[in-house]
Structure 1
Amino acid sequence: MSSAASLTTANRRPIPLQVRDDLIFERIEYLGISYWVVKDPVGLKYFRLQPEQYHALQLLNGDRHLEELRDALHDELPTVRLQLSDIQHLITDLHQKGLVFSNRIGQGASLAKLNFEEKKKKLFNTMRSLLYVRLPGWDPEAVLARLYPLVRWIYHPTTVTLTLLFVISSWVLLAVQFDTFTAQMPEFQQFFSWPNLLYLWITLGTCKVIHEFGHGLSCKHFGGECHAMGVMLLVFSPCLYCDVSDSWMLKSKWQRIAIGAAGMYIEVVISAIAIYIWWNTQSGLIHHLCLNIFFVTTITTVIWNANPLMRFDGYYMMSDFLEIPNLRPKADRLLRDWFGWYCLGIEAKPDPFMPESGRAGFVMFAIAAGLYRWFILAAIMVFLYTVLKPYGLQSIGIALAVVSIVTILFNLVLNIYKQVTAPRIEPLSRPKIAISLGLLVTVIACTMAVPLPLHIEAMFLIEPHDVRHVYTPVPGRLENRPVQPGDQVTFGQTLATLTNPALALEQLRLEQQEKVQLIRVSVANALEDRSREELARANRESARTQLSEFQKQIERMTITAPCAGTVVA
């Protein structure tokens, strides 16, 4: 009795929390269901609330107790039946979001703790993702306010139409001249080596700065605000980020989609300009930089920004188009619930904020996004390894790969551990765990059994067995080669014949010199001049010796087979 009485007393105790007066609310419909977007003008945070969350927030005045709050919510939302425990969870969530304040002592310490936990979480998220580092920024609202009047004309429908026609014409030009374009593309190592790598970094940084200003100016155009812009390192390349979360306050989803697409729109225009400059310039620095601009704006748009599987522009555009707020968190949550039920036997707690239909689609989206994240990580690691290898720094790429993989696996194991150790009434399903572990072991065994190629680069020389190298020490020009690789030859068969005009002329000179000395011998003999006869005979013998040596060299210019066999090369 005492426990029930104390519980009743606690439920009737006033809730010491009140809604903040400075909050800005906007009612927005998603798939015909009204949501309330709340803007915290102090912390520049935005929250999307369900109707029951919004009404519970509005009913918090510091005097109502739980039962009064429940009855008031039932009056406001007759079709929604909430238990006292559900209302307690709602109030706790609103307090953690910082949407309420307490009139009791100790509120400051609680807020300081929440602020510390948030900063620690941001720091942890930054440290665990070395390839995507977002640094603190500044408030660009004043800069955007000065720039917007100068560029307002680019949002005129006529300007947009003409720009799109210009972009399409550049694509047509690229398609027509595609062979020329691919022929001028440099090799991988040449494209990603110094100094072009420096040009790529500068090009990427410049294009991304313009990209983010496109988001900020578009948000300004549709009546939103932008209070956060800063530097971001994307795969160690300097970029800019622009927080346009204020677009959540816009009721038109097409305006939100336009803000999300503004950065890619700007990059596509830059790419089109680069294509035309590339086509109308000769080989040189400008020609080469335009090729870099086209590569950066096209590749990053397709792989990162436009892809809905990454949490960049394409993801938010698809989320707004489908009118499914928090698409990725919901998909991840449903995937965890499916894993917990089918692999561990953990029944998911009912959540009124999760979708009731199309859950299989959410799960498939979460799986596809996870696989694509692994694919992008592998592609980045291979890219870094390939770029750093010529400089002997491939170990840096390997270290980054190991750190990234270990971080992802650690987070995966940590989430499973939290899911398993969470308090529950029902025990885990041993049969499901056994089947899941058996499947996991089978997959690992099959994966380990698949042979993977191991490539090692080294210098080597291949020679056939019992090969006989055939060569001549006499220089010359190949005149005749009667045999080809693969032909069968016999001992002494001619393999090649060389010619050397210098040797031939020297042979002719020695032959004439021998004849001259022979005549001199005859003349000296006729004159009975013994000394001259001996000198002529000595000169003739020297000429004959030299002629014999030259004849041997000429014979060596005819290369013959030292043995029977097959010609290799």
Structure 2
Amino acid sequence: MRQRTVFDESWYRVSRSQVRLLPGVEMIRQMFRGEPWYVVCDKLGHRFFRVRPAAYRFICYLEDASSVEEAWERALEIDPHDAPGQGEVVQLLSQLYQSGLLRSDQAADIDALEDAKMREDKQKQKQRFSSLLFLKIRLFNPDPFLRKTLSLFAWLFTPVGALLWTLVFIWGALALIENWSEFADTSRSILGWSNLPYLYLSLIITKVLHEFGHAYACRRYGREVPEMGIMLLVFNPLPYVDASSCYAFARKYQRVIVGIAGMAVELFVAAIAVKVWAEGADGIMTRVAYNVAITASVGALLFNLNPLLRFDGYHILCDLLETPNLQGRSQSLMGWWVNKKIFKIDPGPIPTTSRREQVGFTCYFFASWVYRFLLMIGILIFVSKQFMILGMILALIFCVVWVFLPPFKGFKYLFFSPKLMNRRMRAIGIVTCFLAVVFAFLAFFPMPYSFRSEGIVKSADFQHVYTSSPGRIAKLVTPSGTMVEAGQVLVQLTNQELEHEGELIRIERERAQLLMHQDRSEQGTQLAGLKAFLKALDSRQAALNAQLESLVVRAPIAGRWISDQLHEVTGSVVPRGQTLGIVRAETGYVFTAVVHQRDAGRFSLVDSELKIYGQEGETLKLTEIEAIPAGQDDLPSAALGVAGGGSAGVAPDQQGGGSATETYFQVRGKINMTEASAPQHGQRGVARFPLPKTPLLRQWTHAIRQFFQQEYQL
């Protein structure tokens, strides 16, 4: 049940005024969650206010009443349960007056509204300062152009247009899937200096099309688009249009279509750009197409669609949930909770209508605040890596907006707000105790501390299977994945050269034996030489037999025979020393972690925890941990390099894995397996190594210092 305040201290200043809406103000009925609301539309100033049915009826009573008080008393007489209180009436009249929508017989009677207008002007100035990174500069009115060209694009908002969009999107998605590896490889150079002009040009193209998508959708359903200009987003000029008139649409689906239109245009353009890039030859056109695909898809999916930012996704969510002003009401609810539950003052009516809204607004407030803060930090880090001076300027602005301004507002409210007049000392004491407790907890209370390192799972006993002699793969005797015993035949090779050599040895042996028989029957002068020759043939035969025996590849140890791709090369010739697969025992596994130099100094050989990729729900224990003290450059597995899916940087000539870009230390530990665990040889995982408990403030300070040392060499 919505609370309301019946009486208000400013009522005497407006009660005797005769107030009317200006001619031409439009009132539109909308439905939210089955309840009617009314939108007050200012066609000249392009402002829109949603009011409840009770406020709408009060506005209607003003037309026939001789004073504000008479209209209010009539509202109480007709509907005493839902009639607005005096405070709500003053607030409603204040909003309408600030927008220039009221006419009064006595201007002096609305001094309270003038005071409210001055307060709002000050608030707008503060908002402009806090929105320094999101300034808007109006350039022209695009509505005449939209009216003349609407017939060219109106059909896109029909089922035929939706079908065309779907087909083009699928067409582009299939092209992206077919060329994904090349697309991902090209993205590594997206921020290169040579590509930045193409990237920025593509960003301008996609954003212009995005804004025109909103504009044509709004005009398609009959509303004016009065403004188009440039928005300085983090000092980066981007186009924008004012499509706020869509708030006046009576039907929800029309408002949602206007919100989706910009993203739909971007994804449509991205699909075409992907196809142009995939089919075109290397050149300026393909480079621009690739950058258009990146900016259109990333901008649409990660920013505009995100409801935690006040972009398209936010307004779409408000319409779908039928909850207007979601962010503002969530902030008002937080202020209401603080005043009501902590400062113990009467904050007025709660800005929600149900327990469900209270939970939803609270979750949205914290989620949006955290996301926006992290987004600002991400922008700051990205810009500072490219342009240090600009990054320092942004850091200063962020410190003012996010670090100094919120506490300043809070302390100003705490020490000077009239609402805390009789409870100021109590409120100051509560805030002081709260800050002291938070600081003491962060600075002195020990908390669990650890660091993480990526590594590779290996069988405790495994051996690679190599070819001892060159040959052609004739037969896979044992399929991959089979448990084998030591000495079991795995692969059968053939080598015609060795077979021919065996035939030659046999012929030479027969010839030598005939010569010996002949020499014995005559003089016997060549007998000694022939015996030496036969002995040499025996040595050659023994070596040949060993080579022929090695053509039968056997398991070196007992375990599981793994050779996933050997069946694809059956019949081909393999050289000597070629790896055919591995045989790994399944009696135990070890984990080899890569520990960076920055963590090596605080490492201790205690039992740790392990999570394996693909089996994150199971936490395993690492015991019998040992460290190799010498720094190394060769990775224990190519899977740990960036090319193999890991996070370790590798040298430019070692993209397949191998030599790391920085020296690291190896740490090995035995994996204690459980019934639910199923580690596999070669899987990547992350080990968590515990450290002595440390207060959070020291942990954060150490992490920030490491970040600056690593990224900026400070």
| Secondary structure at 2:45 match in 1 | coil
Letter in 2 for 1:252: R
Does the 8 Å contact 2:139/2:230 carry over to 1?
yes
Instruction: Please state if 1:417 is matched with 2:419.
Output: no
Q: From 95, 104, 116, give the equivalent of 2:106.
A: 104
Q: 2 CA distance for matches of 1:34 and 1:245?
A: 20
Distance 1:32 1:289, change over 3 A: same
**CA displacement at 1:174 relative to structure 2:** 1.7
Q: 2 CA distance for matches of 1:116 and 1:70?
A: 25
**CA displacement at 1:105 relative to structure 2:** 5.1
Spell out, residue by residue over 1:25-77, the C-alpha distance to the aligned partner (whole angstroms, 9 max, x if none): 10111111111101112212111112232222222249534542332112443
Q: From 176, 179, 182, give the equivalent of 2:181.
A: 179
Q: 2 CA distance for matches of 1:193 and 1:292?
A: 12
Distance 1:67 1:225, change over 3 A: closer
Q: 2 CA distance for matches of 1:457 and 1:87?
A: 59
Q: 2 CA distance for matches of 1:385 and 1:11?
A: 54
**CA displacement at 1:224 relative to structure 2:** 1.6
Instruction: Please state if 1:397 is matched with 2:391.
Output: yes
Does the 8 Å contact 1:229/1:243 carry over to 2?
yes
Question: Which ranges of structure 2 fall in alignment gaps of 5 or more residues?
Answer: 1-8, 444-694
Q: Which residue of 1 aligns with 2:215?
A: 216
Letter in 2 for 1:150: L
The structure richer in helix per residue is 1
Distance 1:142 1:113, change over 3 A: farther
Match runs of 1:440-455 below 5 Å? 440-442=438-440, 444-445=442-443, 446-450=695-699, 451-452=702-703, 453-455=706-708
| Secondary structure at 2:282 match in 1 | coil
Spell out, residue by residue over 1:276-328, the C-alpha distance to the aligned partner (whole angstroms, 9 max, x if none): 01110232222221121111112211232100000000000000000001111
Q: 1 CA distance for matches of 2:195 and 2:153?
A: 32
**CA displacement at 1:117 relative to structure 2:** 7.1
Letter in 2 for 1:42: L
Q: 2 CA distance for matches of 1:120 and 1:79?
A: 36
Q: 2 CA distance for matches of 1:203 and 1:107?
A: 55
Q: TM-score, length-normalised on structure 1? A: 0.71
| Secondary structure at 1:210 match in 2 | helix
Instruction: Please state if 1:287 is matched with 2:248.
Output: no
Q: 1 CA distance for matches of 2:413 and 2:65?
A: 37
Does the 8 Å contact 2:40/2:51 carry over to 1?
yes
Distance 1:77 1:11, change over 3 A: farther
Q: TM-score, length-normalised on structure 2? A: 0.57
Match runs of 1:214-363 below 5 Å? 214-342=213-341, 344-351=342-349, 354-358=352-356, 359-363=358-362
Spell out, residue by residue over 1:199-258, the C-alpha distance to the aligned partner (whole angstroms, 9 max, x if none): 222211121111111101001111222111111122333211111111112111111000
Q: 1 CA distance for matches of 2:345 and 2:250?
A: 37
Q: 1 CA distance for matches of 2:394 and 2:226?
A: 33
Distance 1:351 1:272, change over 3 A: same
Letter in 2 for 1:100: L
Spell out, residue by residue over 1:84-129, the C-alpha distance to the aligned partner (whole angstroms, 9 max, x if none): 4543444334433433122235699999998887676555434433
Does the 8 Å contact 2:274/2:290 carry over to 1?
yes
Instruction: Please state if 1:57 is matched with 2:59.
Output: yes
Q: 2 CA distance for matches of 1:430 and 1:110?
A: 30
When structure 1 is superposed on structure 2, of 262-271 and 175-184 the one drifting more is 175-184
Q: Which residue of 2 aligns with 1:196?
A: 195
**CA displacement at 1:434 relative to structure 2:** 5.0
Q: 2 CA distance for matches of 1:100 and 1:347?
A: 34
| Secondary structure at 1:28 match in 2 | strand
| Secondary structure at 1:185 match in 2 | helix
Q: Which residue of 2 aligns with 1:513?
A: none
When structure 1 is superposed on structure 2, of 332-341 and 264-273 the one drifting more is 332-341
Q: 2 CA distance for matches of 1:448 and 1:10?
A: 54
When structure 1 is superposed on structure 2, of 418-427 and 110-119 the one drifting more is 110-119
| Secondary structure at 2:418 match in 1 | coil
| Secondary structure at 1:404 match in 2 | helix
Q: Which residue of 2 aligns with 1:555?
A: none
**CA displacement at 1:426 relative to structure 2:** 5.4
Does the 8 Å contact 1:11/1:66 carry over to 2?
no
Does the 8 Å contact 2:20/2:104 carry over to 1?
yes
Q: 2 CA distance for matches of 1:196 and 1:320?
A: 39
**CA displacement at 1:444 relative to structure 2:** 4.5
User: Would you say how many aligned residue pairs link Structure 1 and Structure 2?
Assistant: 444
Does the 8 Å contact 1:11/1:65 carry over to 2?
no
Q: 1 CA distance for matches of 2:51 and 2:300?
A: 32
Letter in 1 for 2:164: L
Does the 8 Å contact 1:17/1:102 carry over to 2?
yes
Q: 2 CA distance for matches of 1:432 and 1:370?
A: 24
| Secondary structure at 1:43 match in 2 | coil
Q: Which residue of 2 aligns with 1:407?
A: 401
Does the 8 Å contact 2:228/2:241 carry over to 1?
yes
**CA displacement at 1:81 relative to structure 2:** 4.8
| Secondary structure at 2:20 match in 1 | strand
Letter in 2 for 1:407: V
Q: 2 CA distance for matches of 1:347 and 1:115?
A: 26
**CA displacement at 1:197 relative to structure 2:** 1.6
Letter in 2 for 1:379: G
Does the 8 Å contact 2:94/2:116 carry over to 1?
no
Does the 8 Å contact 1:137/1:231 carry over to 2?
yes
| Secondary structure at 2:28 match in 1 | strand
Does the 8 Å contact 1:277/1:287 carry over to 2?
yes
Letter in 1 for 2:417: A
Instruction: Please state if 1:92 is matched with 2:94.
Output: yes
Does the 8 Å contact 2:45/2:99 carry over to 1?
no
| Secondary structure at 2:355 match in 1 | coil
**CA displacement at 1:375 relative to structure 2:** 0.9
Q: Which residue of 2 aligns with 1:163?
A: 165
Q: 2 CA distance for matches of 1:81 and 1:111?
A: 21
The structure richer in strand per residue is 2
Does the 8 Å contact 2:207/2:239 carry over to 1?
yes
Answer 1 or 2: higher relative contact order, Cα 8 Å, separation at least 6: 2
When structure 1 is superposed on structure 2, of 91-100 and 266-275 the one drifting more is 91-100
Q: 1 CA distance for matches of 2:203 and 2:108?
A: 48
Distance 1:81 1:122, change over 3 A: closer
Distance 1:130 1:96, change over 3 A: closer
Does the 8 Å contact 1:205/1:237 carry over to 2?
no
**CA displacement at 1:23 relative to structure 2:** 0.6
Q: Which residue of 2 aligns with 1:540?
A: none
Question: Which ranges of structure 1 fall in alignment gaps of 5 or more residues?
Answer: 1-6, 389-393, 461-569
Q: Which residue of 2 aligns with 1:3?
A: none
Distance 1:355 1:410, change over 3 A: farther
**CA displacement at 1:435 relative to structure 2:** 4.7
Q: Which residue of 2 aligns with 1:438?
A: 436
Letter in 1 for 2:256: I
Does the 8 Å contact 1:384/1:397 carry over to 2?
yes
**CA displacement at 1:448 relative to structure 2:** 2.5
Instruction: Please state if 1:17 is matched with 2:25.
Output: no
When structure 1 is superposed on structure 2, of 396-405 and 54-63 the one drifting more is 54-63
Letter in 2 for 1:402: L
**CA displacement at 1:141 relative to structure 2:** 0.9
Match runs of 1:17-36 below 5 Å? 17-36=19-38
Q: 2 CA distance for matches of 1:340 and 1:444?
A: 26
